[in-house]
């Protein structure tokens, strides 16, 4: 099994009976066995379950059934997505021993499409962080340079794809948690439109910003997985009723006449080498027939500030349930209040505690309007400014992150500098719009640079077409 084989090729081969799902899975398991000890992409590899699932797919194929569009394709699952009877940890001590009694909707859909769940990938605790350094189980290493972070919070998923452990992975993106690690690891990462992919079974961090998305080695593979997981889910009230069909078929339609806006404020945030690659990417799109121009979106400057009020506020409420009463860690105290205190003090890491405290404060009586209320008004401004920009442009272009993958420890002592590494990705979460990161060359340090393509809500097809054009131009 060559790690350069794409998901699209695997599915075609398994559906066509040219390759067994077992062979595919065994190939990836062997790559994992070789290198996982130096990468630590996974919290758990589901070797037996994956082989059993592969055998079931092979039996269906032998019986003449079509196992589905993901036939035999291994998929790594971020460990904040529920998997039935399989530990789901969110890389936190507080969920110690907990096994969900149900599968997330996206996990169900992957299995129903013939995909094979390969394992649960590492993340910053409860998806709060940009480097996986906040995992209770130790960080994931960037497979391209072990001294660098893989990005976060979906660092385990990005590293798994980059290391060839899995052709595809699921992640979640609240402020850039798919796109930034995708950029750092040199893979494709997609945050779909808010509501396009069900959140049922995604352990909530900040519900109004959280979006399940995906990572893959190339644009076509990403489109393949998005088509499988998107679409209305009656279990998620914020799920969009219908999704635009035909994503995979339309990838190659090109960008002739597409209006591309390069967002000045976000380019200015980037290091010069990253900004340089971005300009080259813009020029390449121009060569391919797109109309490229610069655009200024001033409200984006306030994105990080608004985000770090809204996200912690929702997190403080979403994480209240980890109280030692029903599941996970429990440190019994003399009474219920001390049980809560001891359990949460021991169970949560420092970054999670910091955000719970920030959010609790932001929602407190007397402060609500100045903090949470004000942040929501800024959010509305950002949505309006995006809408105005989309009157003149079909998609927007920016760096995915201001820099390439940074070194371990570089930002752990300064939470604010860590927060600012999400400056380019946060606005799309605030607006609920789709955005994706595509690798485009490398920085002065030789590490990959990611280009971010943003589109208006439900603008996935055009966004993927631009990504495919960028990928093609890069050879």
Orientation of helix 7-15 relative to helix 21-39, angle to 10°: 150
Counting residues that bind other proteins (by CB under 8 A) gives 44
Cα-based distances in Å from 221 to 121, 171, 289: 19, 15, 24
Tokens of 224: 């393949």
Check binding of 272 to other proteins (CB under 8 A).
no
Question: DSSP label at 251?
Answer: G
Q: How far is the CB of 90 from other proteins (least distance, A)?
A: 8
Q: Is 78 known to be catalytic?
A: yes
Contact window for other proteins (CB under 8 A) among 5-13, 22-30, 98-106, 112-120: 98-106
Residues 157-216 contacting other proteins, CB under 8 A: 199-204, 206-208
Check binding of 238 to other proteins (CB under 8 A).
yes
Residues 282-321 contacting other proteins, CB under 8 A: 313-314, 316-317, 320-321
- Please, which residue, 164 or 328, has the CB nearer to other proteins? 328
Show Cβ contacts of residue 413 under 8 Å, excluding neighbours closer than 6 positions: none
Tokens of 10: 């695997």
Residues 117-146 contacting other proteins, CB under 8 A: none
Bridge partner residues of 142 (DSSP): 145
Catalytic residue among 177, 243, 398, 428: 177
Cα-based distances in Å from 89 to 136, 336, 347, 355, 467: 10, 24, 11, 19, 33
Residues 326-365 contacting other proteins, CB under 8 A: 326-327, 335-337, 340, 360, 363-365
Cα-based distances in Å from 257 to 179, 253, 281, 393: 26, 11, 16, 11
Query: Residue 303, preceding bond cis, omega within 30 degrees?
Result: no
Catalytic residue among 135, 153, 154, 243: 153
Among 27, 68, 74, 100, binds other proteins (CB under 8 A): 100
Check binding of 88 to other proteins (CB under 8 A).
yes
CA 62: distance to chain centroid? 35
Among 96, 108, 236, 385, binds other proteins (CB under 8 A): 236
- Please, which residue, 321 or 407, has the CB nearer to other proteins? 321
Cα-based distances in Å from 125 to 128, 129, 160, 382, 469: 6, 8, 18, 28, 35
Among 82, 123, 163, 215, binds other proteins (CB under 8 A): 82
Q: How far is the CB of 362 from other proteins (least distance, A)?
A: 9
Show Cβ contacts of residue 334 under 8 Å, excluding neighbours closer than 6 positions: none
Q: Is 353 known to be catalytic?
A: no
Where do contacts with other proteins occur on this chain (CB under 8 A)? 81-82, 88, 90, 95, 98, 100-102, 104, 199-204, 206-208, 234-238, 313-314, 316-317, 320-321, 323, 325-327, 335-337, 340, 360, 363-365, 368, 372
Catalytic residues: 78, 153, 177
């Amino acid at each position: 099994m060559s790690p350069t084989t794409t998901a699209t090729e695997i599915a075609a081969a398994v559906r066509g009976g040219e390759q067994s799902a077992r062979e595919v899975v065994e190939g990836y398991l062997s790559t994992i066995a070789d290198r996982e000890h130096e990468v630590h992409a996974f919290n758990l590899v589901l070797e037996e379950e994956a082989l059993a699932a592969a055998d079931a797919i092979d039996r269906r194929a032998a019986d003449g059934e079509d196992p589905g569009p993901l036939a035999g394709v291994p998929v790594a699952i971020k460990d904040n997505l529920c998997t039935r009877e399989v530990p789901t940890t969110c890389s936190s001590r507080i969920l110690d021993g907990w096994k969900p009694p149900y599968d997330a909707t996206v996990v169900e859909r992957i299995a129903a499409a013939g995909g094979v769940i390969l394992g649960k990938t590492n993340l910053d605790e409860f998806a709060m962080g940009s480097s996986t350094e906040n995992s209770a189980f130790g960080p994931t290493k960037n497979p391209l340079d072990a001294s660098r972070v893989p990005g976060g919070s979906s660092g385990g998923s990005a590293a798994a794809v980059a290391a060839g452990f899995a052709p595809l992975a699921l992640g979640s993106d609240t402020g850039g948690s798919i796109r930034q690690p995708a950029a750092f690891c040199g893979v494709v990462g997609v945050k779909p439109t808010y509501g396009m992919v069900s959140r049922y079974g995604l352990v909530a961090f900040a519900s109004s910003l959280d979006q399940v998305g995906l990572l893959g080695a190339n644009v076509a593979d990403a489109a393949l997985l998005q088509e499988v997981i998107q679409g209305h889910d009656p279990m998620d009230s914020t799920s969009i009723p219908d999704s635009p069909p035909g994503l995979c078929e339309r990838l190659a339609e090109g960008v002739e006449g597409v209006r591309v806006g390069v967002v000045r404020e976000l380019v200015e945030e980037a290091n010069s080498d990253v900004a340089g690659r971005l300009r080259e990417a813009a020029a390449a799109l121009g060569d391919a027939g797109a109309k490229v121009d610069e655009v200024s979106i001033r409200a984006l400057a306030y994105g990080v500030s608004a985000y770090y009020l809204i996200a912690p506020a929702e997190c403080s409420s979403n994480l209240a349930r980890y109280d030692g009463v029903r599941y996970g860690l429990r440190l019994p105290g003399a009474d219920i209040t001390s049980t809560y205190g001891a359990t949460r003090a021991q169970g949560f890491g420092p970054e999670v505690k910091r955000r719970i405290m920030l959010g609790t404060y932001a929602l407190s009586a007397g402060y609500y309007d100045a903090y949470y209320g004000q942040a929501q008004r800024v959010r509305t401004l950002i949505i309006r400014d995006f809408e105005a920009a989309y009157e003149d442009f079909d998609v927007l272009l920016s760096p995915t992150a201001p820099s390439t993958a940074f070194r371990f420890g570089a930002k752990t002592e300064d939470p604010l500098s860590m927060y600012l590494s999400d400056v380019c990705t946060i606005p799309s979460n605030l607006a609920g719009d789709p955005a994706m990161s595509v690798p485009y060359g490398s920085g002065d340090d030789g590490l990959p640079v990611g280009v971010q393509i943003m589109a208006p809500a439900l603008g996935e097809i055009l966004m993927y077409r631009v990504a495919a054009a960028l990928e093609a131009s890069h050879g």
